[in-house]
Homo-oligomer: A and B are copies of this chain.
Amino acid sequence: MSINYFRSAIENMEGYVPGEQPIGKKFIKLNTNENPYPPSPKVFDAVKARLNESMRLYPDSAMTKVKEKAATIYGVDSGEILVGNGSDDILSILIRTVVGKSDSVALTEPTYSLYKTLAEIQEGRIEKYPLTEGVCIPEEMFSSKAKLVFLARPNAPTGASFALDEVERLARSIKGVLLIDEAYADFADDNCLELYRRCDNIVLSRTLSKSYSLAGIRLGLAIGRPEVITQMTKVKDSYNVNALTGAAAIAALDDVDHMQKNVQIVKRDRAFLKVGLSRMGIESFPSQANFVMTRFAENGKAKSIFSKLREAGFLVRYFHLDYLGECLRITVGKHQEVVAFLDVLDKILHGDRK
């Protein structure tokens, strides 16, 4: 096209880069925080049962049954739930509901990089608050007048969680909406559901992608006051969630035990991974998520390790972050994968000492 048809905000942005989903060659995938265990078998049965000629019909636009099931689990009213096509959809719907051109959006640095991308699409003004201390909400953030504040708890890509009383202080001191992204909350010691009930400017987002082992079906949830859900519903695509995903979600949420069992195993192996890294002298952040973030002071070292791991068949995620520098994020895989990973990493770092 010879003429410039596009919004300059879009042309000038880089766009979010998702983690690699390799096609072809087999890797041990420790790069995108997927759960190493399969979802509840009930999910497969539910999808098969839904898979009939009614595929020709539009799904229920509101995903009423998913809402009802989620409301029971989270102890809220179904009018406080919005169902999304993954929690990325929830984040996109919320920012479009709240943030207009030139409105401020606050986020920590680092955090899930999609927040910045979404703010750029909205032509919002981005306020960045560096997490120089790693796990404390930066003091300046408490006086933010942003219309929307993004907080991932546990945070990505570090895995660290913010103290609940600090989060409450944040919710009460800011002027706008506080979106707490709880994508990893099932792997943490606590969550913000109680806090949500006390502070009416909090919106929570949840996903079935991590703890429920269902990244492939795309199901996210927003938990917010009914008046927030009403406005968000105007912005969402009418049929943003398909019929099969709806059926899968109900079955998954109906089998919380299955999820919790997998989460326990992942948490045990998270501790195992951290100890293994520590023994090799590798610094890692405290993690409340299903991954461990490591930091390498030496320039180029993380990148070099990343490449050698890849050659050896292990995919991890490499980050070069402001303030924190070069890091590798390692998803907690199955126990044997963690053992094999630590073994390969040891050889990369120290050579074959046999």
Is A58 in contact with B43, judged by CB distance below 8 angstroms? Answer: no
A216 in contact with B85 given A5-B176, A234-B10 (CB within 8 Å): no
Q: Is the contact region of chain A dominated by helix, strand, or loop, or is it mixed?
A: loop
| 1/0 contact string of A114-132 vs chain B (CB within 8 Å) | 1001000101000000000
Is A242 in contact with B227, judged by CB distance below 8 angstroms? Answer: no
Q: Cβ of A11 < 8 Å from any Cβ of B?
A: yes
Q: How far is the CA of A45 from the CA of B227 in the complex (A)?
A: 42
CB-contact partner of A5 in B56, B59, B147, B244, under 8 A: B147
Query: Which B residues lie within 8 Å of A29 (CB)?
Result: 57
A34 in contact with B58 given A1-B201, A47-B47 (CB within 8 Å): yes
A216 in contact with B244 given A5-B228, A36-B56, A60-B21 (CB within 8 Å): yes
Q: How far does the Cβ of A296 sit from chain B's closest Cβ, in whole Å?
A: 26
| 1/0 contact string of A54-73 vs chain B (CB within 8 Å) | 11111111001000000000
Q: A: which residues have CB within 8 A of B?
A: 1-3, 5-7, 9-11, 13-16, 18-19, 21, 23, 29, 32, 34-39, 43-44, 47-48, 51-61, 64, 85-86, 88-89, 92, 96-101, 103, 114, 117, 121, 123, 147, 175-177, 200-201, 209, 213-218, 225, 227-228, 231, 233-235, 237-245, 248
